[in-house]
A and B are shown apart, each in its own frame.
Chain A
């Protein structure tokens, strides 16, 4: 891919798409004008022109794969022979799967909770200070970075050198400075999960903060004033007015981050690749789908488990979105 072919590729890719809509509509106009019947100008043909690409993509890339994945989960590793529910039984008995489920549960408990909490605290603090906008911007920045990029950033923070050497990882440098032994953070089972979660919290707090920041403007000013006059301190106002008032928003943010966490993959792949007992569902799925030739049956089982976990939260989220639209 040279820069020249980059432009050619982009040009062709986009052109095909634009040309389709323009030409098809142009042709429709051309032929319907000849028959000179205004009423069929917007015949069902135009509906088809508008809908067809989206519908076909939806069909091929989402609807068909869902049914196909469900089918494959009942077939062997090449997708040829029907094997009943043995892939599911295998998954349930697999110790890796148990590990991944436990880790995912840990992620689910800790990451959404802490991200939401930090986001709320920061949004609340920043809104009152003159340099709050800058602070928010800096805390929000990790949102723009890829999970892999964030993985590199944090792997560098967690870097470990032997006790005699100069530590170049920031965390170990602090630990040594405080007089403790340096640690290879990512290889300590169970604890290492927390260090991986820290990366996700670091990213998602920005999202929570931004949404809270918007929601906080809706908190009635006179209510806060009244509380202050009555002598409530900031902490009291935060816990008894702001948190109850933002209940709905808290739930929204919590669901968004939960869905992201259920599908968390890149951070683990980049930092530990599931070693030292850090495996999660999405990484396990990737392993079984594509490593060593792949096993489409077992891989599909993990994909379905992820989907089953996501569905209730997603439904809650869409329902909430529809409610908002009504208002």
Chain B
């Protein structure tokens, strides 16, 4: 009893370590996408989860805001200028000793003026002679900063960096690139399962053989074919219909293979009975096969949709890398090059690109897994 208890604890710990290691990278990305971009560039994302101590430099207001009270010239204000929720612990007036004074202590500048700072950043700066500095004085503060998150990065990335546009483009690529092969392949698979015609076995063998062809083989010939067509009709060789067809082609073998395996496994008595009743193949397909194949369709749909959504290569080769056509993965790669140090843009962009797959993943996990287990043959 004791032994199995011990081994269960060990199992739990090992699994927990795996989960933590697996989840931390994504979690860090998610947190970072909601952080202020200046903080993101200077501190690790893990610091944003807790109240942290920060050292910062601020300036007081200049002489223009001074007023006179009881023979003292006074400048009042808030050192942060805006509400931040930060709590000051100590402050200093020289860079050598940045936490010389505690809050509500009086610090004396070289010119004899005195400053007092409260926890919230309100300060009173007094002097017996009129203030003359235009820019105010530097004050070094040590403060505790509570976790703070913002949606600004999302606003920036979706509207100004073109990721929002790329997101829409990707939908325009992914939806037809999933539906078209599904329709074509379901008929194809049906014919390969239940129709009798000359060369059926050879055709099936060809489909299966196509599984081994990596899509890299098709790129150059297809691109030059597209170029020829575009020259002939004087249209652009890179277009949405072009990319749909390319994805249809690359998904065809595996989709047909999976659907055929499913359709073939349906009871043949049912189909034969319908044939005897005089139904033609189109009726059988519509009224019997389609309704029964919904779960298989769901799996294949999810698999192909995620494949297209996450694809980079096909999108790079068959679409122009311009704002109206670029897909989200290509956009992300472009940002990695051009905004490599702007982590607020990269993390947010990456997260935007992940929203659709993650949504599908969490809502339809069962079908996704079923498709993956069955669909391990995509070439």
Contacts and interface: CB of A to CB of B under 8 A. Distances in A.
B176 A129 contact: no
Given A159-B343, A265-B313, A300-B220, A1 B372 contact: no
A57 B245 CA distance: 8
Contact of B310 (A62, A66, A146): A146
A128 to B, nearest CB: 6
A47 B198 CA distance: 10
Interface stretch (B60-68, B71-79, B104-112, B179-187): B179-187
A38 B309 CA distance: 46
A155 B336 contact: yes
A53 B357 contact: no
A9 B368 contact: no
A307 B252 contact: no
B45 A61 contact: no
Interface string A245-263: 0000000100010010011
B213 interface: yes
B326 to A, nearest CB: 10
B206 A58 contact: yes
A151 B336 contact: yes
Interface string A1-38: 11101100110011001100100010011000000001
B377 A317 contact: yes
Tell which of A125, A137, A282 has the most Cβ of chain B within 10 Å: A125
Given A149-B329, A211-B373, A315-B212, A68 B191 contact: no
B15 A122 contact: yes
B241 interface: yes
Interface string A125-149: 1101100100101111111111111
A219 to B, nearest CB: 17
Interface stretch (A83-91, A98-106, A162-170, A187-195): A162-170
A81 to B, nearest CB: 16
Contacts of A157: 24-25, 28
A132 B11 CA distance: 11
B25 to A, nearest CB: 5
Nearest to A252: B376
A109 interface: no
A8 to B, nearest CB: 10
Contact of B183 (A18, A55, A207): A18
Interface secondary structure of A, over-half rule: helix
A154 interface: yes
Interface stretch (B125-133, B167-175, B291-299): B167-175
B218 A152 contact: no
B187 A53 contact: yes
Interface residues of A, number: 115
A143 B346 contact: no
B188 A54 contact: yes
A280 interface: no
B172 A9 contact: yes
A273 B273 CA distance: 59
Interface stretch (B90-98, B136-144, B348-356): B348-356
Contacts of A285: 216
A279 B224 CA distance: 26
Contacts of B230: none
B360 A144 contact: yes
Interface string B330-351: 0011001000000100110110
B41 A168 contact: yes
Contact of B15 (A57, A129, A145, A315): A129
Interface of B: 3, 7-8, 11-12, 14-16, 18-19, 22-26, 28-29, 32, 40-46, 165, 168-169, 171-172, 175-176, 179-180, 183-185, 187-188, 190-191, 195, 197, 203, 206-208, 210-214, 216-222, 224-225, 240-241, 244-246, 248-250, 252-253, 256, 261, 278, 280-282, 306, 309-313, 316-317, 324-325, 329, 332-333, 336, 343, 346-347, 349-350, 353-354, 357-358, 360-361, 365, 368-369, 372-373, 376-377, 379
Interface of A: 1-3, 5-6, 9-10, 13-14, 17-18, 21, 25, 28-29, 38, 41-42, 44, 46-47, 49-51, 53-55, 57-58, 60-66, 68-69, 72, 79, 118, 121-122, 125-126, 128-129, 132, 135, 137-149, 151-157, 159, 166-170, 173, 202, 205, 207, 210-211, 214, 233-234, 252, 256, 259, 262-263, 265-266, 269-270, 282, 285-286, 289-290, 294, 296, 299-300, 302-304, 306-307, 310-311, 314-315, 317-318, 321, 325
Closest 8 pairs between A and B when the two form their complex, measured CB to CB: A61-B249, A54-B188, A146-B310, A13-B176, A68-B221, A65-B218, A152-B350, A144-B361
